[in-house]
Structure formats: structure tokens, C-alpha cells
Amino acid sequence: AMKLQSPQFQALFTPGLRSVAELFEKKNYELRVAGGAVRDLLSGMTPQDIDFATTATPAEMKEMFTSAGIRLINNKGEKHGTITARVHEQNFEITTLRIDVVTDGRHAEVEFTTDWEKDAERRDLTVNSMFLGLDGMLYDFFNGYEDLKNKKIRFVGKASERIQEDYLRILRYFRFYGRIAEKPGDHDPSTLQAIKENAKGLAGISGERIWVELKKILLGNHVNHLVRLMYELDIAQYIGLPLDGNLEEFDRVTKNIQNLCPKPMTVLTSLFRGKDDVTNLDLRLKISKDEKNLGLFLVKHRQELTKAGGPEPLRPYQDFIMD
């Protein structure tokens, strides 16, 4: 068993979390840190936001918080089992352990459980399926910690089953690959096969959800490898990318932008051959007006501007800005 006692973990224990932990302890409900925050802590990073999981049902949590005089905010997550409590100027998002009863590739109907392993089983990737007790004890049912140390991205259980529960997980696989894997091309062939067989399911996922994931992929590592993979595995057509994307240009641009923090749209536009590609992307993903204008601008002007050579390569850009 592994016990985490890093400074990043100790830093979680704000007055707010201490009060919340005390309440749960008094009622004998278990409370643990879940998902992405555990992954970040084990990587020595400070998590951006922290999700908690518990054996208490939403009704039990509401009862407990209300009688302690604690304010609950936004009850939208309640039917999925999530309660958000505001304690000492800090929000705590706490979700009851659950099992997916029915899934349609987008949404799940859930029932609550007190079995931690059952909850871990319905999570997407092994590195996201771990829990951390408030004493620092790690609960890891699917070797997520091993995978994290070896920089391996794997689905929990059978890849095709996980993907069919929510097709967006295909893009989440790519996103975490770009975040955690050390080198391109280190995939399990059966995972790629499962992705290819289920790629069509992405057609039913809303553009907004796809665009959130795609933007993160475009700013992560191995972006060139991952976008090529999207074409090889027949994903591109379902997420608004042009069928004949200009992969050579994309290759060139992704090499040039390392360490430059470009906007996602700047990176993506290098795939496009004309303004129709921008329009089609917008139709599928509902990108912002800003993003669309940037795409159109780049497609329109890059030809004449990149022709610049000779003794004054910046000259066309300066003239352009003056105009």
C-alpha cells in the first residue's frame, strides 16, 4: 500500500476541507479525493480543481450539511449524485459513488453504491480511476499508479465498452496521451482498433463537447502524431476536420510553434486548404466568432505573407500591419 504525504497533498487541508472532513467522519461516511486530482497529486502537481467521492447519498449529504448550517450551491448535479457545498469561502464538489445502469454513448443513468471498486470501474482511463484517502492512502483498483509511472494511457477494463458508454472518451484518450505519454506511437494496438471501430459514435456527440477536448489536444504534446492518428482511425470526418487535411503543412507548423503558446485555432488552421474548411469546422463544432475570424484571416493571408524571402523577410508583415 502506498501513502502520499507530499507538500501538494498537505496543502489541500484548508480550514474548509478540515470542517468538511470532520462532518463526514462524525457521520461515519467515507470521503476520498477522486479522479484527476489524484493523478495530479501523484505526479507532484497541484491540482486545479478537486473532486471528492463519498459513500453518503445526496440526500444524506444534504441533510448533514443543512443541519450544520452549510450553504449548498447549484443543485444541477444532484441527480448524478453531486452536491456542492460552500465552506470557508471554498466550494467542495462531492459525488456519491455510483454505477452506470444504462448508457447511450452520451449520457448515463446511474444508481448509487458504497463499493469503491464499482465506481472506479466506470471511469474512463486507469490514471483517472484512483482515489486518495484523506490520510494519504492510495486506492488503486486498475493499476493506475503503475501506468502513470510508466506514462501509459489505458482504458479501464475493455476499451470498446468504455468508449461505447461515452464516445467522447476517444478524444479524452488522445488528450491524456498528449499530456502524459513520453513519446508518440506508444499505443496498445487493441485500443487503437477499438477506437477505429467506434469512431462513428463521435458523430452523435455535441460540437461544443468535442471542441473543448480538441482544443486541449492541440495545445498538448505529440499533437502532430495525434492528429495524424485521427485521420488514420477515421475520426477526423466526424469531428469537423477536412477530409483532405493538409498534414504536411500541419507537420511544419506544429514543429515551429513549440514553446510559443499559440491559440488552438492557429494550430488547427494549418490543416485547412481554404475558407470552406473553416466554415465546416464552425458548423460542426460551433466555434466562437473570434476563433472563426482568426481561421478565416489565416487562411486568407498566409499565402502572400509566407512567400517572403530575400534580405528583408519581415517586410511583407510590416507592410501588412501598416495597411
How does pLDDT run across 107-160, given as a tens digit for each residue? 778 899 999 999 999 999 999 999 999 999 999 999 999 999 999 999 999 999
Give yes or no: residues 142 and 163 share one domain.
no
Give yes or no: residues 183 and 249 share one domain.
no
- The pLDDT score that the predictor gives to residue 277 is 97
Give yes or no: residues 32 and 139 share one domain.
yes
Q: What is the dihedral of CA 283, 284, 287, 293, to 10 degrees?
A: -40
98 pairs with which residues across the strands? 112
Give yes or no: residues 70 and 200 share one domain.
no
What DSSP string runs through 82-118?
A: EEEEEETTEEEEEEE-EEEEEE-BS-EEEEE-S-HHH
Hey, how many other C-beta atoms are within 10 angstroms of the C-beta on 37? 24
Domain end among 152, 174, 191? 152
Domain that holds residue 209: 158-234
- The pLDDT score that the predictor gives to residue 40 is 95
Give yes or no: residues 9 and 148 share one domain.
yes
Give yes or no: residues 196 and 104 share one domain.
no
- The pLDDT score that the predictor gives to residue 80 is 84
Flag whether the pTM goes above 0.85.
yes
> Which segments in the chain show pLDDT lower than 70?
307-308
- The pLDDT score that the predictor gives to residue 75 is 73
- The pLDDT score that the predictor gives to residue 62 is 95
In CATH, what number is assigned to the domain containing residue 193? 1.10.3090.10
- Calpha distance 302→290 (Å, rounded): 18
Give yes or no: residues 170 and 200 share one domain.
yes
Q: How many domains does the chain have?
A: 3
Task: Identify how many contiguous H helices and E strands the chain contains and give both numbers.
Answer: 16, 9
Domain end among 152, 172, 195? 152
Give yes or no: residues 56 and 98 share one domain.
yes
- The pLDDT score that the predictor gives to residue 316 is 81
Domain end among 196, 219, 234? 234
Judged by DSSP in three states, 3 sits in strand
